Amino acid sequence: MKSTALLLLSLVGLATASQHHHAHHFLVNNVGSSPTDGFSRVSFDAQKDGHVQVPCNADPATHYHFDGKYHSFTVHDDELGWNCKDPHGTHPRSEMSLLSKKFMGGKNQFQAWLTVPQGTYGVNLMQVFGGDQHNTAFMLHIYKEDGGSLWRYHHDKIKGGMWDKEFKLNVIHDSESEKVSVYIDDEYHGTYDTNGRSKLGYYYFKTGVYMQTEQSHTMKVKVRDITLWKKQ
C-alpha cells in the first residue's frame, strides 16, 4: 500500500511539474516583442515636421483636422490633385508628408494607430516614398472586400476585417536589403520587396488618404500617435 501511495504521489508530482513546465514554455512563447525593439526613437513632432497636402483648390480645414489626439484626413474622388500647376497629375489626396524626416540608409520605421470607417476603400493609407521602378517603395491600400482589407498595393492581401477598428501599424523599411516588413497590432504580416533603390537618393513616409482605383466617393482615416524609429 505504501509503495502504491508513493508511486501515485510520484506520478502526480511529475504531472504537476510537467504542467508547470508547459505553462512556462507557453508564456515565454507568447511574451510579445515590439517591432520597435532595438530601434531608437527619432525626434519628431507631426504638427511641426509634417506637411499636409490636400486638393489644390480645396479648403484645408475641410480635408484635415487635428484635435490634439487624432489627425483626421478626408478626400473625395472628384477633387483635384495637390498641385494646381498640374491639377490632374496625381490623384486626389489628403495626406501628411514626412519629407522633413527623410532617410538615406539603415532600417527606418513608421508607427501609428489608424481607424478607417466602413465605406472607405480604393485608397492608400500609408506609403514609403522613393523607388526606382516606381515612385514608391511600399503602399498600404484598403479595399472593400472582406470587411475592409489591407493590401500591399493591390498585389498582396495583408489582413481583412479592418473597417471601424483601430489598429496599430508598424512598417519597417530596410534600405540595405530593399525590403519592407509589415506588422499589424504587433503581429508580423510579411516582408516584401521594394521597387528598387530610390532615384531620389532618399526615402520618406507619408500617411493619410490618397485615392487609388475602385475607390469610394469619400475616403477617410483617423491617425494618432505617429512616431518614427531608426536602427543603423
Q: What pLDDT does residue 84 have?
A: 85
Q: What pLDDT does residue 133 have?
A: 83
**What is the reported pTM?**
0.85
Q: Could you say which DSSP state residue 43 is in?
A: P
pLDDT band at 18 (very low <50, low <70, confident <90, very high): very low
Whole-number Å distance between alpha carbons of 134 and 96: 20
Q: Considering only the C-alpha atoms of the chain, give the largest distance between any 2 of them, rounded to a whole number of Å.
A: 96
- Mean pLDDT, range 153-170, rounded to an integer: 97
pLDDT tens digit sequence for 56-97: 999 999 999 999 999 999 999 999 999 888 888 899 999 999
Lowest mean pLDDT among 80-89, 93-102, 136-145, 166-175: 80-89
